[in-house]
Each structure stands twice: as structure tokens, then as C-alpha cells.
Amino acid sequence: MSYIDVKKVDSFDTEIEDIASDKSISHRCAIFSLLSDEPSTIINYLRAEDTLNTLNIVKLLGAEVEDDGKTLIITPPKEIKEPPVVLDCGNSGTAMRLFMGLLASKEGFFVLHGDKYLASRPMRRVADPLRKIGAKIDGRVKGNLSPIAIRGAKLEGFKYESPISSAQVKSAMILAALHASEMSYFSEPALSRDHTERMLLGMGAEVISDKNEIRIAPLTSPLKPLNIKVPADPSSGFFFAVAAAITPNSRVVLRDISLNPTRIEAYKVLQKMGAHIEFMEKENIFEPMGDIVVQYGSLKGVEVSEHIPWLIDELPALSIAMAVAEGVSRVKNASELRVKESDRITTVVENLKLCGIDAKEFDDGYEIVGGKMIENSIVNSYGDHRVAMSFAIAGLIAGVRVEDIECINTSFPNFISILEEITEVNYGD
Ligand code: S3P
């Protein structure tokens, strides 16, 4: 298990042009290319473990992939093939849940599995509504945990009111609805990230949304192929936004990043806390995209209890800004954090305590008493990429060792090399 030592830095001013490509959009590019009968062209597909696993699954389902290192051309099969091996989703809940929705209606037998972290994440949230419309899905612990076995079946149209706001549940149900026998209706308590609706609409599907309610018509013919440039991932960029916000006299420019409103809420919270942030839209094809400039500001504590699905992935990094900010910060209504790549309520609070910060857990969030110096300390990633990168950023103002850092490769393989442009980073085993 390797670790990194991140050294304290006085200040920095940098522009980052190679923030990892968006993970959510990349997964969808690979999976949705199977809904067309023509090749899809994808520039800047994320080459990280999670999305490369998804691409491999798409190949096992019969697609052909040409790759010149920058552009992927995915030629879909006429019919999805029954693969001779199990489909490895690695660490990715998004991959597992979206493939469940897609494969539930496909002829054949499919087994999805992943690593030990994914094996403890709930799949019932997708399996149960799919079973209600005719899907044949099973798994460990009463069909809730992976490996997940699917025998493709005929699906009925549905009216499903999801009890949780989850883009993964929504996307899985939309994929199932495209192959159901009648019109389907999906709603969620509050809008979650909306890449699936935007992309499928762009491909010609009748996926009509009004905020958190969606009507989906079954496909009558294959969709148009994708022709897309994946923007940088605002969740990955956010680590460096926090870095600039907490390091005096520092500034970062994040280039060509998605400015989708369901993805940049954490930047708005950081702005409310006192960081100086500018959003500059440059293009709007499937999604708005542009540059974000973040500059240090003296931070104040904040309460975060709204629009949680729009910043759920950024809460670990935001917790570092909360530890630095003067006063008490609180996160509420975020129990979904408990079923991410780690139980992020516990892992964030335990690591903050190791850094000498007063923090306590609630069932649905945490409280952080900010303003005290973060101490030079040793923390663990708990196998969670976002926990690893968040605490590496805390190192910029305190010096921190993060153990078990391999997980960073699931979403942001060049994270450490970008960090090395800002400060000294030493590695060890
Ligand atoms: C994702 C949706 C979110 C997010 C995850 C990626 C997606 O999960 O946390 O990292 O690409 O659909 P939920 O939809 O389960 O909240």
C-alpha cells in the first residue's frame, strides 16, 4: 500500500488544463453508444480505472473500439452479445447501476461484479424497481449486493416515484424505460445530476423532463450516435478549487470544465464561505462548459443542507475548507454519504480528528469546528479516491501523509502530477 507526503506550500498561482475528464459523462458516453446503430465519436474520454472498466464491458457486450489516444470511436454491435465472462465494474457504482438498467431487457445472462468496496454498496435501489417491471435480477443478501446476476426479460412501462434523489437510480430506470413496452414516468424528490436526460435527448430519444419529473418513450429505432468532447470534471477540479481557497495569496484557473448547474453547487458554497470565484462560460453543446477561477479568501463557516445531490461528491473536499473556515460548519440531509465509495461521514470525520480538528458525526451529516490550524498528520484514504485527494489538499497548509493512495487512479490518475506542480510530494510504500 503506498502513501504520499504532501508538503506545506506558502502560496501558488496556476492554470490547470488537464483536470481529469468528467467521469459521469464518460461512463454514459460508453454505455449510450450501445443505443445507436452507428459509430459514436468521443474526444477526451476519461482514462481512469472506473471508466476504462466501463469501456471494457462495452467491448465484452460486442462493441468495437478504436482509440488513437485522444479520440475513441465506438461501433456498437447489432444486438448486445451475451459475454462469456463476468463484467467487472471495479470500484464504480455508476457503472454497475447503469448496466443493470440497460441489461435488464437484453436477451442473455449477465453477471456484474466489482471490488470489495463496491461489493458492500446497495444495489436494491435499482434492482427493486426493475424487478417490479419484470426484470430478473438477483444478488447476494436478498438480491441487494454484488455479484449481481441478470437474465434479460420483457419490461413493462412504469410510473416510479424514487424515494431518493440519485442520478444512478434515475439513469438506470431511464435506460430500462427505453426498452419497456409502454411510456414510463420517473420522478425523484429533487433533481439529481441530469447528464443522462441531456445526452439521450441529444441522441434523439423522447426523454422529456420537467425539473425532477421525466417521461420516457420506448425506442422505436436506434438513436443517433454521440459526437462529443467530454469536459473536465468539476468534481475533480474542486480539489484544486479548495486548494486555492485555503492557501493564502493563491489562485487557480480550471480550464474547460463542465458548468452544468447540477454539478457546480460546491463552488457556490465555497464562494459563499468567502473564496473569490468566477465562472466563465465558453460553449454550450450538451452542457455549458468554460473556465473557473478560484482565489483565496478568508473563509467563514457555513451550513449545507440544500441541493445535496448537486454537491454530494464534493463534500469531502469541502470539509477541508470547513476545517479552515472561522466558526462552525454543518452538513445535513446527506445520509447518502454513508453509501459512497466509503462511509464518507465516518471517514471524513475520523480523518479530520487525526488532523487535530474538532468534528462530530450525525446520522445524516457532520459538524466541523473550523479555524484551528490543521496539524501535520497521517490519514488513511479508506480506499476512497475522494477522501485521499481531499486530505492531500489539506497537506498544502499543514503537511499531511495520505496512506493507501492507489484509489486515486479510479477517477483522477494525474492528480498527483498536478499537485507536484504546486508543492513537493514524496512517495513511499
Ligand atoms: C453519479 C451520481 C452520483 C455521484 C456519483 C456519480 C453518476 O451518485 O455520487 O459519483 O454518474 O450518476 P448517486 O446518483 O447515487 O447519488
Q: What pLDDT shows up at residue 202?
A: 97
270 Cβ closer than 6 Å to some ligand 1 atom: no
Residue corresponding to grid cell 450538451: 286
Task: Choose one of 21, 24, 339, 344 to mutate for the ligand 1 pocket test, by most ligand atoms within 8 angstroms of C-beta.
Answer: 24
Kindly state the cell numbers that stand for 424.
513537493
Distance (Å, rounded) from C-alpha 325 to C-alpha 370? Answer: 5
Domain edges within the chain: 3-21+231-428, 23-229
pLDDT tens column, 34-66: 999 999 999 999 999 999 999 999 999 999 999
Q: What pLDDT score does 100 carry?
A: 99
Domains 3-21+231-428 and 23-229 share a fold: yes
| Grid cell of 250 as nine digits | 493563491
CA atoms within 13 A on the CB side of 173: 33
Q: What is the DSSP letter of 94?
A: H
Write down the pLDDT at residue 286. 81
How is domain 3-21+231-428 classified at the CATH fold level?
A: UDP-n-acetylglucosamine1-carboxyvinyl-transferase; Chain (3.65.10)
Rg of the chain over Cα atoms, rounded to whole angstroms, equals: 21
Instruction: Provide the pLDDT for residue 285.
Output: 86
Instruction: Tell me, yes or no, if 115 is annotated catalytic.
Output: no
Ligand 1 mean position, distance from CA 394 (Å)? 24
- Copy the grid coordinates of residue 98: 447503469
Scanning the structure block, which residue is given the C-alpha cell 496539524? Answer: 375
- What's the angle, vertex CA 100, arms to CA 180 and CA 347, rounded to 5? 140
If one residue of 312, 342, 344, 412 were mutated to test the ligand 1 pocket, choosing by the most ligand atoms within 8 A of its CB, it would be: 312
Q: Is the CB of 26 under 6 A from ligand 1?
A: no
Residue at 112: amino acid letter: L
Residue 298 confidence (pLDDT):
98
Single-letter residue type at 386: R
Distance 286 CA to ligand 1 centre (A): 18
Q: What is the predicted pLDDT for the residue at 219? A: 98
Q: What are residue 155's DSSP bridge partners?
A: 180
Provide the pairing of β-strand 365-370 with 358-362.
Answer: antiparallel
User: Ligand 1 pocket, 54 CB below 6 A?
Assistant: no
Atom of ligand 1 nearest to the CA of 196: 12
Instruction: Give the chain's residues under pLDDT 70.
Output: 1
Question: Which superfamily does CATH assign the domain made up of 23-229 to?
Answer: Enolpyruvate transferase domain (3.65.10.10)
So what's the pLDDT on residue 256?
98
Which of these is catalytic: 67, 313, 358, 363? 313
Sign of CA dihedral 299, 231, 256, 46: positive
Q: Which three cell numbers stand for residue 315?
A: 463534500
Ligand 1 and 197: CB distance under 6 A? no
Cβ atoms < 10 Å from Cβ of 248: 10
Residue with cell 446476476: 149
Verdict on whether the full-model pTM lies above 0.95: yes
154 φ, ψ (degrees, to nearest 5): -75, 135
Distance CA 134, CA 108 (A): 15
Verify whether ligand 1 is closer than 6 Å to residue 411 (CB atom): no
Exposure of 363 by Cβ count < 10 A (0-12 exposed, 13-18 middle, 19+ buried)? exposed
Preceding omega of 147 cis (within 30 degrees of 0) = yes
SS3 302: coil
